[in-house]
Chains A and B, each alone.
Chain A
Amino acid sequence: MTALTPGAELEPVTYAVTRADLVRYAGASGDFNPIHWSDRVATEVGLPGVIAHGMYTLALAGRAVSSWAGGPDRVLELGARFTKPVVVPDDETGVAVTVTGVVKESDQPGVLRVDLTVSVDDSKVLGMARALVRSTDA
């Protein structure tokens, strides 16, 4: 595990997202918006195809931060803007979402900020993505 110290660049992680994942997520979250499973509906509303739930992408960011911070209970805040849709092709490999993070000081003692970059094909899909985590020695 990379130490959470200000200035540290955390080990990037890449997650594959398939249509099956979106269907599982719809069931687990209760969000059955058809743009996340129906190409017909997605294209009717002007999307290039089925897109991941914004919350799916943010969940991947949360997963990365939890692993860097040493557990989900160390993550005090997590947030982002959904700036670009993540199109998920109807194939076996899906789309690769990469999460990178840089540790910064925060204005609270014992708390660090992690500035996140969440991207697909080197293009950012979340804006202002950041987390506040309890520092590992706190």
Chain B
Amino acid sequence: MPVDPDLAGREFPPTAAYDVSRSQIAAFATAIGDTDPVHHDVDAARAAGHADVVAPVTYPIVVAFRAMRALLEDPEVGIDLRHVIHADQRFESLRPVWAGDSLTARLGVESLRSMGGSDIIATRTELTGSDGELVCTAYAKLAHTPSEPT
């Protein structure tokens, strides 16, 4: 089944606030093998000029992914999870993510186009802090290849 042809321009409701903890940042850094103390130790982070433990560059995906799930799991959108791949990702950071942040993600579909039998869905997800300040914009492209009609 192809995806909803009217998907372009659709805006999804914001996710519930996600509270970023020191432990989560340390666990994410450990998973990617990053031992830089600014991710693990609040004193080291403060010595480097941060308010608190600072997240690795791609950490915003954790929150952006929660917004992506609203798109992937909406039956009206028509995405088959077995046939979707993450094709492209880009982050524009206005500031790093710190422990203590409470982040909300809002996803919009920028464009939908067809290429070589696949639907390319370009999304933009804005992450904002508790005061509404924009922290990071995450751009993701998904390639969805509908299964052959049987």
Which residue numbers of A lie inside 8 Å of B, CB to CB?
A: 15-16, 21, 24-25, 27-31, 45, 54-56, 58-60, 62-63, 65-67, 71-73, 75-82
Contacts and interface: CB of A to CB of B under 8 A. Distances in A.
Given A28-B28, A72-B54, A72-B57, A79 B88 contact: yes
Given A27-B27, A28-B24, A76-B92, A62 B58 contact: yes
28 contacts: A21-B31, A21-B33, A24-B27, A24-B31, A27-B31, A28-B27, A29-B28, A30-B66, A55-B61, A59-B58, A62-B56, A62-B57, A63-B34, A71-B48, A71-B54, A72-B56, A72-B57, A72-B96, A73-B50, A73-B95, A75-B93, A76-B93, A77-B90, A79-B139, A80-B88, A81-B87, A82-B87, A82-B89
Interface string B34-62: 10101100000000101000111110011
B32 A60 contact: yes
A78 B90 contact: yes
B12 interface: no
B34 A73 contact: no
A81 B62 CA distance: 18
Contacts of A67: 36
Contacts of A16: 33
A79 B34 CA distance: 19
Contacts of A77: 90-93
